[in-house]
Structure 1
Amino acid sequence: MAGREERVRRFSEVFRRLPVNDRPAAEPAAGAKDSGVVVRALPDSGRTILEIVNDTPYAIRLAGVVKGDPSAIVEDLGRRLKLAPQAADGGRQLVIDLAPYGLSVVRVGAAGASLEKPTLYPPEAVLATMEARFQDLSIQLATLNRGLDNPLVEPPNAGFEQEPVTPASATVGETATPIPGGWRLDTGARGGAAASLDEAQPHAGSRSLKLESPQGAASVLSGEFRPGAGTSMLVQAYLRGDKGQNVRIWIEGEHQGRPYVRRSEAAVSTEWRALVVRASDIPPGGLASARLRFESTGPGTLWIDDVRVLGEIAPKAVRLNAQRTLLAALQAYREQRYAEFARLADSHWARHPGLQALLRGTRPGDLSAARAEPREDAPAASALPADRTLR
């Protein structure tokens, strides 16, 4: 109520114009609630009251055909105006401008009158507002679908268990065998550095990745992968060395054509030890691609095994409910069910705190092809004479 006193006051004044009726109100036509505007005809001592309710947060113009006595007086009781509906096929055309969540009470001076063929004409500004929200929900759904099936994302062959295969193009005497999954030695490594698969003392399984750097620093790169859509990422790996040494772990990626690089440094010992690195400032919408780099800072041998990358996103139950809600909202917009679209677009699941990071991405500038075109033939309001315009 706070801050909405004037709106409530206007609604109450119009509501008081409705006749007292002990009988249950008739159900609106099928689909009327979803479209956003409900029209009911109520008897009133030889006259007819048309109760018109706008159940959307948008200002909307409603046009319909009043059927009944063509000479009956038509009045807007809320605004205390005499209306001038124009002759139309089957009756007279009535046009009413409805405020957001507004109520309009129209009295027809004849019994048995009704309002047929109600048609909604949202203003251009309202259509632009709904279009912007539609685009936001479309981006959120697309980003949500990226990580819906499995939030666990990792580089190819992250456990180093795939069998190495010597390429057919290898020359006689060539001993270097590519590591499956795109793992490779950094081309900047010098002094006889080498990366290979090692079957001696892996942390788990049958192999680990071995990085040898006899003369200085060297690094090994993972193959590219596409992480989840969250704004943070956890990288876990098991490492050990031939001696105590420092290791740098790099997260390198790309977001909207711009590089993303984060680095952490940790100490490793001669025993397998789990290291966990968190990147908590990933741009909204996630990285388009990423790779990991493990760098030994001095001469020695480093073993790496069981690399895992976990993107922090909402639980699967939340994501499934949000996906269903977003799909229903987008469908309601395409079918011009404005009340249903407004309800779903502002619902708990569409604005769940666990999904808000997905909404902060950049919205495309081009309008969607699914947008409902504005009606160029929207009729003039019945409260104005045909030769007058509102400035």
Structure 2
Amino acid sequence: MKDIETLQEYAIIVGVQLQKDHHFTYGMQELENLAHALNVEVVGEVTQNLDRINPGYYVGTGKIDEIKALYEEAGANIVIFNDELTPSQIRNLEEALACKVIDRTMLILDIFARRAQTKEAQLQVQLAQLQYMLPRLVGLRASLSRQGGGTGGGFKNRGAGETKLELDRRKIEDQISKIKKELAQVVAQRDTQRKQRTRNALPVVSLVGYTNAGKSTVMNQLLALTGQQTHKQVMEKDMLFATLETSVRQIELEDKKSFLLTDTVGFVSKLPHHLVKAFRSTLEEARNADLLLHVVDVSHEEYRYMMEVTDDTLKAVGVEGIPTVHVYNKCDLTDKPYPVVSGDHIWLAAKQGEGLTELLTIIRQHVFANYVKCEVVIPYDRGDLVAYLNENAAVTATDYEEAGTKLRVELNEQDAKRFSEYMS
């Protein structure tokens, strides 16, 4: 295993630009970044303009020789294609190029597999990988038949190959079924935790956005701003898919108000369908949020496209109709003024800690909008209720009257109902 890890890979990246694809150049740049995320060095690039993808080879057959020549000249040992290849395209390309061929989907799945830390993330990635492999076993039919046992004619060989294919398919289907069961248990456990949090009536704010937009930085800076311990901070790194796990942190404010902040996996264009499906449960946090913070790297020239990809991916996992604040981050890398607030849009520089106070104000306006300012008179024999309010609510004034302790207080919906009989 160690030897495989240390083998340096040198890649040629290949992409086809269709007429309507205005983000092709960025897609190729992103493919190179994805390769770098796996320590693969890109040593060459081949692109082609086509009206449609070649069903047999992805590129036009004339391009195969160009890829082959560049592959040899640059000393590459792998070719990466910028789209998901069909089983027959992989087989045809490997035969024509006589080298290892992978597609964008495999690359992303591999990154996720290496980054996954928690049991749930690991199971989700394994599931996506197996679901990706299953139909591609058919594409291996020819090579499997060549490996078939026996010394007789083609029928005997092909039969052995097909038997192996069936065994492989059954094995993968069994694994998929097993992982799905395990995941169902993890999801049920998380549902229980979520319901518990709902009972505690804490509002949930979810960070969403493109990978490397700065979601983890925003979370850490909000934790620091509200004086939370550093051990609560989440990992932040300038790389694609630094965060795969959903981190949940409680943000406690000085006026006894609290909300939960969740940091979710970042998105990327052409995110593999199986992976979107597999991570659906991780994104449950966003689906059940009271507010979304859509973090955008506004310093990137393609930031509008990244916002589109994020919106489309959120729709694909059923995250719709939730109030959203757009957080335009990394303004320090642009000539845009910051911090600036305009309705539910804020321009800031999270790394520098600029604009976080303003962001917190916007969050407050959204998640504590249903809080009720009122006066309650608590009988002297109910000191437990006074203690509860002092501990859990924003008490702005306390007086002692004949009927009991009079408190001016701000309550959430749940507590307002509970204390309605004491309201004056």
Which category describes the TM-score, using the shorter chain as reference length? under 0.3
Q: TM-score, normalised by structure 2?
A: 0.20
Q: TM-score, normalised by structure 1?
A: 0.21
Query: Which has more strand, going by share of residues?
Result: 1
Q: Compare relative contact order (CA 8 Å, sep 6+) and give the higher one, 1 or 2.
A: 1
Query: Which has more helix, going by share of residues?
Result: 2
